[in-house]
Structure 1
Amino acid sequence: MPSTELGERDSRGSLGTVRNAVTLLELLGEGPAYQHLTDLAERSGMSVPTVHRLLRSLVLADLVEQDPRSSRYSLGPELVRLSQRYLARLPILGALAPFLSQLRDLVRSTIVVQTLVRSAVVTIDRVDGPDAGLYREAHAVPDALTTATGRLLGARASDDEWKAILESCSAEQRAVAEASRNEWAAAPWLVVEGQTFGPPSHVAVPLVDGQGGILGALVATVPPGTSPEEIEAVAGHLIRAGAAAVRTVGHA
């Protein structure tokens, strides 16, 4: 066999291995914290030996950890280090840093920076305000369309990304989203009502650069039942701070 054909075959095989490993990491990020080998094989559609071999490699890299008592698998600590390295290189976080505490003191509420990763919203920075009580969502990864951030950023995403978001939500959420996409994409800010004994209301503004690139969203929590006038005032503060941070990124 010519060396070029052998190289192409090895490349395709390596790509498949990486894709399968990513699939396992995604499955480990869903459902219970620790999962059984056979369950992962069934959900992934891969054979048990294949899944076992991939998991062993991921464990050696600390991307996955195995509980010595139950032999079940979970996401590993190396993912935390990699995510922190990634966040440290995001220019928008550095640009927003001087504003977060000022915003917190100005609106007297928790200020959050979020981004959209596929069909989920991820918090990448947070400054707690006086409203931060027993209910905290520091590590929550909510579905996109349940949040103001997800609606703002998802509606501005590409058609393929929007389609993936719709496929991950309920039929009821999908119907509302399809009817509201243009409105959400044009909105300077959005609010999603919270619950008295659950997640608070969130006001979010998109962070969009001069070329239309999505940098994330700046979010403030507000108590359920906050008046429209107060919400609009909070949104105004977020918009001004976000615009200043985006200008800083543009000048960097």
Structure 2
Amino acid sequence: MARTIQSLERAAAVLRLLAGGDRRLGLSDIASSIGLAKATTHGLLRTLQQEGFVEQDPRSGKYQLGAELLRLGNSYLDVHELRARALVWTDDLARSSGESAYLGVLHQQGVLIVHHVFRPDDSRQVLEVGAMQPLHSTALGKVLAAFDPVARNAVDDGELTAITGRTLTSREDFEREMVRVRALGWAADLEETWEGVASVAAPVLDRRRMPVGSVAITGAVERVVDDGAVRPHLVAAVRECARAVSRDLGAGRF
């Protein structure tokens, strides 16, 4: 059986205790409830407070849950709302395009795949939910980098690593690509991440019209590309899917 980290278990116990009631708790109450010495409990509370997970009332000295937990919780809910809103539309996208459909969100220095619809044929495929993809070379990532300042900062802070011979590794070339993506409203990855594979992606916006993710289709380059360019009907299908999900998230018509 895998060993657990005792300090994390204790911190989790503190957070659950504070989440279980509607009042602030003092150090003695918390220590007795979780069965730890006051000194140990105070150390846990001080660390949680430094990270923003716990707040201390300056007058009473009692503790309550902090704003950082709310931010993390909202992020969790946002991703799940995005996925829920996209389920039907990405199914339709895979069916109409004949290719695999993906929904991705910014996570740390890359794109996290939160939903994946298999290509509608009998070929063997592997579910990629939970996989991370690069920001600078994938269509999903380029869209986020073009429209989301946080994603762009992540690209600027990282390296433009060559993954294939077609990956953009020059800052000047990448900046020109960002200008093109913003002008067109969609991005392409033509064998920049995987040899023989092409993708096209478009941004998903929320009610504030801020980018919260991107949708894409991915397939063999000969099916996605014609005469060096992404087939127009595939671009249209991806953009319409992104618009539909955005409308469901409250972005309105655009």
After TM superposition, the score normalised by the length of structure 1 is: 0.58
Equivalence for 2:132: 141
Q: 1:118 offset after TM fit, Å?
A: 2.9
Counterpart-to-counterpart distance in 1, 2:215 and 2:193: 22
**1:217 lines up with 2:214 in the alignment:** yes
Distance in 2, matches of 1:153 and 1:132, equals: 32
Compute the displacement of 1:147 (Å): 0.5
User: Could you say if the C-alpha distance between residues 98 and 192 of structure 1 is closer, same or farther in structure 2, counting changes exceeding 3 Å?
Assistant: same
Q: Distance in 1 between matches of 2:193 and 2:160?
A: 24
Q: What's the secondary structure of 2:179's corresponding residue?
A: helix
The separation in 2 between residues aligned to 1:251 and 1:144, in whole angstroms, is 24
Change in CA separation of 1:142 and 1:224 when aligned onto 2, cut-off 3 Å = same
| Structure with a larger share of its residues in helix | 1
Report the residue type matching 1:140 in the other structure: A
Q: Is 1:185 paired with 2:182? A: yes
What is the aligned-residue RMSD (CA, Å)? 4.0
Instruction: Indicate the structure (1 or 2) with the bigger Cα radius of gyration.
Output: 2
1:1-252 equivalence runs, <5 A: 13-14=47-48, 86=76, 90-130=80-120, 133=123, 136=126, 138=128, 139-158=130-149, 161-170=151-160, 172-194=169-191, 198=195, 200-225=197-222, 226-227=225-226, 231-250=231-250
Identity level (%): 17
Given that 1:204 and 1:220 are in contact with CA atoms closer than 8 Å, whether structure 2 keeps it comes out as yes
Q: Report the secondary structure of 1:146's partner residue.
A: coil
TM-score, normalising length: structure 2: 0.58
Equivalent in the alignment of 2:14: none
**Number of residues paired by the alignment?**
184
Q: 1:137 to 1:178 in 2, by over 3 A?
A: farther
Alignment gaps of 5+ in structure 1: 1-8, 20-81
Greater shift, 207-216 or 118-127, is seen at: 207-216
Greater share of strand = 2
What 5-or-longer segments of structure 2 have no aligned partner? 1-42, 54-71, 162-168
Q: Secondary structure at the match of 1:129?
A: coil
